[in-house]
A and B are shown apart, each in its own frame.
Chain A
C-alpha cells in the first residue's frame, strides 16, 4: 500500500475512534480528576441519600433515630460523629447502640467507645475498647444514678471518674434498670443524619470504572480503554507516516 493511502486509512480510523470515545474520554478525565483530588474535595464525606440511588445500590434507607434527654437530642450519624442537638461532639463509630443518663452526666455507647457528656452536651472524655471498655458491650442502663454497661451475658457498673468497670454480681438487679429507647429524630436534626447513604466518592469510583452499570458497564469501560490505546497508536502512526512523507 502506498504511503498516501496508508495515511488516509490511518487518519480515517483515528477520526472514527476519536469520535466514538470523545464523550466517554472527557467523562473519564473529569471523574479521574475528581478521584485524584478526592481528599481535598472531601468527596468521601458527601453522602447521597437519593431514594432511587439507594435502591439501585440495594441500600434500604434508614430511619433516623436518637435519644431524647431533657428536651435535648443525642444521636449518631453515618459520618461517625456523635451529636448533641446540632453540635458535633467527635468520633462515634456507628452504630450508636445506647444512651444512659444520670443527674451529672450523659453516656453514649458507640460502636467501640463510650462518650461521656455533661448534661449541657459538652464532651468530657471518651473511653474506648483500647482503654478497657469490654468488646462485647451491647447497651447502657441506669440504676439509681449508676451507669451500667450491659454485655451479652454480663453487666458492669461504670465509674466515670476513674473509668473503672466493676462486674455486677447479681444480674437480677437489672430488672430495676432504666433503659432509654431510641425515638424518631425531629426533622430539624434528621436532615443531618447521613447514615445509610452512598458517598459521592463511591459513586464516582463506580461510574469511572463502569461498575455502576454492572458487568456490562465494566466491559464497556474496558473497550473504551482499548479504543483509547488504539487512538494513541493511530495518532503515533499518523505522525510516523507524516515524517516519512516529508522525507520523500
Chain B
C-alpha cells in the first residue's frame, strides 16, 4: 500500500505551489449546514510545552483560533515543511480527525501531500498518550518533510481539540 501510494503520488511534474482554498471558504464548506462559532484557545504554559513536544520546536503566538459547531472543531494551522509554511485545515469530531486539507502550499517540491489520496489516510486518526497519531501514515517519496509537517499539525489539532473542555 505504501509503495503504491508513493508511486502513484510521486511525479516530477507536480509543482503544486499556491493557495488552494481560503480559510473562510474551508470553514464555510465544512460547516455548510450549521453555523460555526469562532473561538480562541489561549496557549498556557502547559499547552505550549505539550505543543512544543509535538512540533519539536517552540510554538509561536499566544492564542489559536478555531471554529466549533455540534462538537466538531475546525483548525487552520501552519507548519514549515522544508523552508516555507504549509497551511493546513483539520476537522476534529469526537476526538478523531474527520478531515485534513492542505489550504496553501508554498514549497517548490513535495506538494503531493495535498492530494485527497494522501490526506484521506488521516481520517479516523486520534491521539495516543505519547502525543502521536494512532494510525500509520504512508509517506511520499520526495515529500518527507511535508509529510512530517502534516503529521505534526494533525496531532497538534487533536491535542488543541482535547484542551477545549479543560479551557472551558
Contacts and interface: CB of A to CB of B under 8 A. Distances in A.
A189 interface: no
B92 interface: no
A128 B87 contact: yes
A89 to B, nearest CB: 7
A61 interface: no
Contacts of A51: none
Nearest to A122: B62
Contacts of A132: 22-24
Given A44-B83, A91-B85, A130 B76 contact: yes
Given A44-B83, A91-B80, A131 B61 contact: no
A34 B104 CA distance: 31
B71 interface: no
A131 B103 CA distance: 10
Interface residues of A, number: 18
Contacts of B103: 130
Contacts of A123: 60-62
Interface of B (DSSP majority class)? strand
Interface string A109-146: 00000000010001111101111100000000000000
Interface in A32-76: 39, 44
Contacts of B76: 130-131
B19 A39 contact: no
Contacts, number: 43
A3 interface: no
Contact of A124 (B38, B61, B78): B61
**Chain A contact residues: over half helix, strand or loop, or mixed?**
mixed
A124 B22 contact: no
A89 B60 contact: yes
Given A124-B63, A162-B38, A39 B82 contact: yes
Nearest to B58: A90
Given A39-B82, A44-B83, A91-B85, A130 B22 contact: yes
Contact of B24 (A44, A125, A131): A131
B62 A125 contact: yes
A122 B61 CA distance: 7
Contacts of B83: 44
A44 B83 CA distance: 10
A42 to B, nearest CB: 11
Interface in A73-95: 89-91
Interface of A: 39, 44, 89-91, 118, 122-126, 128-132, 162-163
Given A39-B82, A126-B60, 4 more contacts: A123-B60, A124-B63, A131-B24, A132-B23
